[in-house]
Copies of this chain bind each other. A is one copy, B any other.
Amino acid sequence: MPLRPLPPGSSELTGGFWSDRRRVNRETTIPAAAERLEEVGTLTNFRRAAAGETGGFAGKLFADTDVYKWLEAVAWEQAREPSDELATWQTDASALVAAAQEPDGYLNTHTRLALDGTRYGDLEKGHELYCAGHLFQAAVAQVRATGDRTLLDVACRFADELCKTFGPGRLEGIDGHPLIEMALVELYRETGTASYLELASYFVEARGHGMLTVPGHHGPAYFQDHLPVRSVRTIAGHAVRALYLAAGATDVAVETGDHELLDALQATWSTMAESQTYLTGGVGSRWYGEAFGDPFELPPDTAYCETCAAIASVQWSWRLLLATGESKYADLIERTLYNAVIPGVSLAGDRFFYVNTLKVRHNAFADDQRSAVGGRQPWFGTACCPPNVMRTLSSLDQLVATSDDDGVQLQLYAPASIAVDLPTGRVAFEVATEYPWHGTVRVRITATPDEPWTLGLRIPAWADSHRLTINGLEGPLRRVWAVGDEVVLELPVAARRTRPDERIDSVRGCVAIERGPLVYCFEQQDADVVLDETAAVAGELVERERADLLGGVTTVEVPGRDGPLTAIPYYAWANRTVGPMTVWIREDA
């Protein structure tokens, strides 16, 4: 791989935008989830399975995963800043998971409680390997973050059982909901057990031959089972499934050196990024099947843009960034984090969007808990999104930078402290910035070898210009650095108008406002006219720093046909009253 992730602890967010979100996540979101997981019976499922009971399973059949994702978040928080509460949660819940494991390694409380232990009877919908995958991910996170091997032992025993059960000449099947692929590769990376990688590779290759359908409900494409992964060029079907599979297939391609597969995944990513991704980075155009649309099918009002799909998109892009070193992947990660992941949680950290629409009409009507029209919800019947946000925010500092033998690459701009051991010696630096509100990023070198190395600074695709100085002068970023050297990058974050590709029907003749990495939106509550019926016009965009508003934002005033229209960052919408909103607004020529 051209780029490597930094070891846990090597990059630390030290303040600013993301640090604030991470604090709310730690102080409000994760503790509230602990309560919910008790309230709705998700933890009780493990207690009852451990006690050998049957019947009385609570929640959806994949409810185990809510605990696993939450445990992942708990582990990252515990690693960064230990607390007794976090330690207790980690110890108790991990012990509970371990206790629910069956003697041969298998583990799934739904199978135990609701199916009398009968396994793999419904690969389309059963989610057994999906649950296993989330367990493995939590186990890897836990050991990497905290050194605690409780879940890793559980995971390896289960993975060993899977290796005995699945594969050519054994049970030749795949799970309806991918995830196991990337989880097995991560487990392989952690343990070195080759059979885990082999099984992941088998699951990737076995897919695409039409095994999975639910007649009358879903065809094989819903399950990404319509075409072999290496033949796909346009991502299709259930968005979260498609993206977890793509991420897992990327892992397999990288670990097995399968260039053909990696090329196919890159081509598929490009089609997605260019024609199946919303301005926000959100993906999944269709409620029906929670699915990707055809290229350029990107309606703002009926966008599904599941919070989990945005997270899965980040995971896939991250893997391709490492596999190729191309910054377009980091560009999409940044866009997606700011505008498709964090809109999924309230500023207070206690409520969640499942669906992240780009437009709510004046007369919109909600008949579904997932509909953004009804505002963020404290939890969901299918509670996949909230703990997925938790683990993403808790592990976010790992996405800030990457490294290679020649240096370190800053991928996200945030106040941070980075320290990496290069082959030539230890490199460390501090990043100071008020990004995304201001475009100045200062990097001060605090440790460096005497050999030259490169400080990589991503110039975001949205930046049509930039200025870079080193100790006040222009110069190359590959050099022999000295402690105290200061690099200043100036990015043009001023508000700008963005116009859509004319092949996207539903926003033709519209304009959106962006500012730096942030997508903006208009909320009815800030407008004196009916949003649905007005239009933007030419003229100056007026920015205002509003420390008092929505936790502190910069608003953008847009000249409108019927008077100025105030835009706020999209991630902050529906945090006052919930009403009509639009990212794209009609534009009078």
Query: For residue A507, which residues in chain B have a CB less than 8 angstroms away from its CB?
Result: 505
Query: For residue A226, which residues in chain B have a CB less than 8 angstroms away from its CB?
Result: 367
Let me know if A365 and B219 touch, CB within 8 A: no
Let me know if B365 and A221 touch, CB within 8 A: yes
A220 within 8 A of B: yes
Let me know if B363 and A234 touch, CB within 8 A: yes
A521 to chain B, nearest CB (A): 15
Which of the segments A257-265, A299-307, A324-332, A539-547 contacts the partner chain?
Answer: A299-307
A300 to B296, CA, bound (A): 13
Let me know if B361 and A294 touch, CB within 8 A: yes
Let me know if A367 and B506 touch, CB within 8 A: no
| Interchain CB contact (< 8 A) of A505 among B236, B288, B506 | B506
A241 to B408, CA, bound (A): 60
- How many identical subunits does the complex contain? 2
Query: For residue A221, which residues in chain B have a CB less than 8 angstroms away from its CB?
Result: 365, 367
Chain B residue with minimal CB distance to A291?
B367
A286 within 8 A of B: yes
> A219-B368, A220-B367, A364-B294 are contacts. A505–B299 as well, Cβ < 8 Å?
yes
Tell me the A132-171 residues at the B interface (CB within 8 Å): none
Q: Which of A297, A299, A505 has the most CB of B within 10 A?
A: A505
A218 to B286, CA, bound (A): 16
A586 within 8 A of B: yes
A80 within 8 A of B: no
A532 within 8 A of B: yes
Given contacts A60-B216, A286-B288, 6 further A-B contacts (CB under 8 A): A236-B365, A294-B364, A294-B365, A296-B361, A296-B532, A300-B505
> A287-B287, A381-B216 are contacts. A299–B364 as well, Cβ < 8 Å?
no
A368 to B367, CA, bound (A): 24
> A302-B293, A302-B297, A361-B296 are contacts. A509–B506 as well, Cβ < 8 Å?
no
Chain B residue with minimal CB distance to A502?
B586
A510 to B505, CA, bound (A): 9
A335 to chain B, nearest CB (A): 22
